[in-house]
Structure 1
Amino acid sequence: MSYADLTFRDKNPIKRWLQEQRLVSAVQLCGQSRSTPDTICDFGSGNGELCKLLAGHYQNTKLICYEPMPSLLSEARENLATLASVEFCDDIRKVTSGTVDVVFCLEVFEHLPPAQTSEALETICDLLKPDGKIVIGVPVEVGIPALYKGIFRMSRRYGGFDASLKNVVSAFLWRPPKTRPTHEIAPGFSYYFEHMGFDFRRFREILGGYFHPLKVSSSPFTALGTALMPEVYFVAENPKKPQQPEAESSV
Structure 2
Amino acid sequence: MVLEGHYAKKQIFSQNQIIAWSHSSRFKTTISLVEKYAKNYSNLLDYGCGDGTFLTMVSNLFSEALGTDVSQEQIYDCQQRLFGETKLKFCLKTELDSQEYNSYFDIAVCMEVLEHCPPEQAEIVINNLKRLVKEDGVIIISVPIEIGLSLLIKPITRAIAGWLQQGDYDKSIECYSISELLQMIFATKSSSIPRLIYGDDFPYHGHKGFNWRALRHELSKEFEIEHTLFSPVGWLGGFISSQTFLICRNR
What TM bracket, shorter-length normalisation? 0.7 to 0.9
The one of 171, 189, 193 aligned to 1:178: 193
In structure 1, the gaps of 5 or more residues are 240-251
Letter paired with 1:114: P
Query: Aligned pair in 2 of structure 1 residues 44, 159: CA closer, same or farther (>3 Å)?
Result: closer
Map of 2:64 onto structure 1: 62
Map of 1:80 onto structure 2: 82
Contact 1:48/1:75, CA 8 A, preserved across alignment: no
- RMSD, matched Cα: 2.5
Query: Aligned pair in 2 of structure 1 residues 10, 74: CA closer, same or farther (>3 Å)?
Result: farther
Q: Shift of the alpha carbon at 1:18?
A: 1.8
Alignment of structure 1 residues 134-213 onto 2, 5 Å: 134-155=139-160, 156=162, 162-164=174-176, 166=178, 167-168=180-181, 170-174=183-187, 178-186=193-201, 189-192=202-205, 194-213=206-225
Q: Shift of the alpha carbon at 1:208?
A: 0.7
Contact 1:150/1:168, CA 8 A, preserved across alignment: no
Query: Aligned pair in 2 of structure 1 residues 179, 85: CA closer, same or farther (>3 Å)?
Result: same
- Structure 1's consecutive aligned runs of 4 or more residues displaced over 4 angstroms after TM superposition are 157-161, 167-170
Structure-1-length-normalised TM-score: 0.84
Map of 2:15 onto structure 1: 11
Percent identity, please: 22
Q: Distance in 2 between matches of 1:182 and 1:24?
A: 31
Q: Distance in 2 between matches of 1:160 and 1:35?
A: 39
Q: Shift of the alpha carbon at 1:79?
A: 4.2
Query: Aligned pair in 2 of structure 1 residues 10, 75: CA closer, same or farther (>3 Å)?
Result: farther
The one of 230, 234, 237 aligned to 1:222: 234
Contact 1:147/1:171, CA 8 A, preserved across alignment: no
Alignment of structure 1 residues 108-127 onto 2, 5 Å: 108-127=113-132
Q: Distance in 1 between matches of 2:196 and 2:23?
A: 24
Query: Aligned pair in 2 of structure 1 residues 160, 74: CA closer, same or farther (>3 Å)?
Result: closer
Structure-2-length-normalised TM-score: 0.84
Moved more, 8-17 or 60-69: 8-17
Structure 2 residue matching 1:77: 3-state secondary structure: helix
Map of 1:247 onto structure 2: none
